[in-house]
Amino acid sequence: MQIISKYTEYFSLFPKIITAFSLICSFMATPVVAKGLMEMSLEELMTLQVTSAAKAPTSLLKTSAAIYVITQEDIRRSGANSIPELLKMVPGMNVAQLDSNRWAISARGFSGQFANKLLVMIDGRSVYTPFFSGVLWDVQDLILAEIDRIEVIRGPGAALWGANAVNGIINIITRSVKETVGAQVTAWVGTEERAGLSLMQSSELGTNSYLRLTAKGFVRDDSRLNGADANDDMSMGRIGFRWDYTGYNWIGKTTGSFYQGQDGANYDRISHEGNYHHFVNDDTEVVGGHILTSWSRQLSNKSKLSFQLYFDDSHREEFPYDEDLQVVDAEFQHNYEFTPGHKLTWGGNIRTYFDDLTAHTHIFIDPPSDQYSLYSVFVQDDYPLLNNLILTLGSKFEHNDFTGWEVQPNGRLLWEVSETVSLWGAVSRAVRTPARYEATGQIVVALYPPGHELNSTSIPAIYNFRGSDDFKAEELTAYEFGLRSLLDEDFSIDISIFYNDYNKLRTGTDPESTIIVDEFGAYIELVGTANNDLEGETYGLEAAIEWQLTDDWKLVGSYSYMEMDFDFAGQLEAFLNSFYARHQGSLQSRLNLPHNIETDLWLTYTDEIAIQNQSEIWDLSVRLGWQPTPQWQLELIGQNLLHDHSKQLTSEIISMMSSEIERGVFLRGSYKF
């Protein structure tokens, strides 16, 4: 309650902070000359420096991983208004909207609201939630104009980034303050994106010192459920800053944010009473913030040292449980180049979680408060076997309080066939460490009414999944091969194939059954305890192309295919692990017309998900943009245009109800000064 009252006190000042910020922007704003539309040629894209695959700047063409970069141009031309929407363009990414504010996002299968094999970072800060080993996407929000790029790796990255970098990594990197000097105001109004306003002000404080202030607030309309409004609308407010310093010896950045919001959500409180299903609509209250500082020093022309420290504090009140979580993380890294092309990267990290969980319904946690740590060291060596053949060997040695030490090695080979073609291959091991509830909790997963194929009795059966101290880390051994090529100055292609061998995946023991009788009647309580008996393989192909047909017309496309080969022991086990679409595709047409008018069409396809009885989904987004002056940008955007409303995915947990996402249209305007 102390934390709640603390945040209540802070946010009673929230409207005043926003007002003060607006006045500051007005006084600090300085006129800037617009640089025009930021478009990158395909050749420039191939030489773009990325950092997620090697923890050091490396050109995209020389990166030995299945990496896709969402650039500033991609963000602007997409018509998206949130980070999850942007990820739909990445091949191999499973992206589905569950309701107005919840998303299911994963790479290479195993999707769901509580997807647990994907590492997500913002400026190097992990936004992992240890309660279920996943990401709460409703609070991962930035002003899109402050994002420099989003680097998405499909496949393991655990040798450098550690636990949970199993099937992929999403690294959201914000722009340097110097690049955004000036002010920008963006506002939007529409049917689903009901209304919003964002402010961004960047100024030079002095020699080599820059500060950016940001503020954003929006309201999102509700979706549809059972033929009526779902009452799952969302409102969110956020303020933040970034301070950059470039000195003679040190380069550093410090970021911070503070947010508060409310999400509507629908739940099915299952019980043996009445018809077993009891509809509940409730508001989820979210509040939190972070502070991060990162510094690096060039010790010599061959040696560089970096440090990073951050603190994250979040509070969440929702129907099943309340959660307070604090995270403290410290990391250092050293890069050394022995000879041109021979680079050594090594470092260490320690992260400590402090949580306090209050269970309300369908969830049980013991102890309710806990502290646990993760610490590691890593090393990676890039060695040129030949001038155009680079071998990368490395490993992460990581300790967690649930399973002890885990070793996550990888080996990669890159062949630069020419200045425009590269081939690469990799063998990697990664682990997914247990979530808090898998070790010390219990959650209601399913209800089987009388006559169900899994319940031959005359009374209902409720299945509970119980954690275990003996639950081990899930393991992946991945084999990957890729081709990246700029076929000519107007056409590029990126192809990856993979084979993933999984062991010790989460399952439950054969449930123990107990007949319970109370004032509402009798039911069977089934309790399965967490174990690691599932194993199997996935394999597939991912491809991305960019084709500049003319100076004014570009096509951007992606396609992915995946198969899963598992010997599931039962229907529930199959249901909880089989959320994936065999085929997925995306095609964007970006056409520039006279008078600074842009027309963008984005067609997406998601194959059926048989285990959910989810039919295939075709959808279309349209963006019409106009830049009447260098300062003004106006956009009319339509989303989900092929359906009045449609369900994209059902949550894997029976109590979390999904709804139907509606067609939406909104008008967005931006002004730079």
- Tell me what pLDDT residue 378 has: 96
- Tell me what pLDDT residue 86 has: 96
The pLDDT of residue 243 is above 80: yes
**E strand intervals along 175-302:** 182-190, 195-206, 209-220, 224-225, 228-229, 234-246, 250-268, 279-298
Mean local confidence (pLDDT), 89-118: 93
d(Cα 135, Cα 119) in Å, to the nearest integer? 8
List pLDDT tens digits, range 500-552.
999 999 988 888 999 999 888 899 999 999 999 999 999 999 999 999 999 99
Looking at this protein, which amino acid is placed at residue 621? S
Output the average pLDDT for the chain: 90
The answer to whether 83 and 141 have CB atoms below 8 angstroms apart is: yes
For each of the domains in the chain, give its residue range(s) and CATH number, in order of start.
Answer: 2-672 (2.40.170.20)
- Compare 619 and 453 and report the one with higher pLDDT: 619
From the number of C-beta atoms within 10 Å of its C-beta (0-12, 13-18, 19+), residue 31 rates as: exposed
Of 38-52, 356-370, 397-411, which gets the smallest average pLDDT?
A: 38-52
Q: Is 607 helix (H, G, I), strand (E, B) or coil?
A: coil
The pLDDT of residue 322 is above 70: yes
Question: Percentage of the chain with pLDDT > 90?
Answer: 77
List pLDDT tens digits, range 430-460.
999 999 989 999 999 889 999 888 889 999 9
Quote the radius of gyration of the chain (alpha carbons, Å): 25
Mean local confidence (pLDDT), 259-285: 93
Question: What pLDDT band is residue 62 in, cutting at 50, 70 and 90?
Answer: confident
- Compare 190 and 3 and report the one with higher pLDDT: 190
List pLDDT tens digits, range 210-239.
999 999 999 999 999 999 999 999 999 999
d(Cα 11, Cα 616) in Å, to the nearest integer? 43
The pLDDT of residue 23 is above 70: no
Q: Which of 6-10, 109-113, 121-125 has the highest average model confidence (pLDDT)?
A: 121-125
The answer to whether 378 and 160 have CB atoms below 8 angstroms apart is: yes
- Tell me what pLDDT residue 575 has: 75
The answer to whether 609 and 621 have CB atoms below 8 angstroms apart is: no
Distances (CA, A) of 515 to 252, 453, 522, 572, 664: 62, 19, 7, 21, 49
- Tell me what pLDDT residue 653 has: 83
Give the position of tokens 């709804």.
659
- Tell me what pLDDT residue 496 has: 97
Of 1-10, 271-280, 550-559, 640-649, which gets the smallest average pLDDT?
A: 1-10
d(Cα 473, Cα 406) in Å, to the nearest integer? 8
The two structure tokens encoding residue 136: 């709460």
Say what the pTM is: 0.92
Question: What pLDDT band is residue 95 in, cutting at 50, 70 and 90?
Answer: very high
- Tell me what pLDDT residue 26 has: 37
List pLDDT tens digits, range 150-174.
999 999 998 889 878 999 999 999 9
Of 15-19, 302-306, 548-552, 563-567, which gets the smallest average pLDDT?
A: 15-19
- Compare 671 and 573 and report the one with higher pLDDT: 671
- Tell me what pLDDT residue 38 has: 43
List pLDDT tens digits, range 565-591.
998 877 777 777 778 899 999 999 999
List pLDDT tens digits, range 374-391.
999 999 999 999 889 999
> Which is nearest to 383 in space by CA: 422, 351, 411, 348?
411
The two structure tokens encoding residue 635: 């956009």
- Tell me what pLDDT residue 573 has: 77
- Tell me what pLDDT residue 39 has: 65
The answer to whether 345 and 333 have CB atoms below 8 angstroms apart is: yes
Mean local confidence (pLDDT), 31-47: 55
The pLDDT of residue 113 is above 80: yes
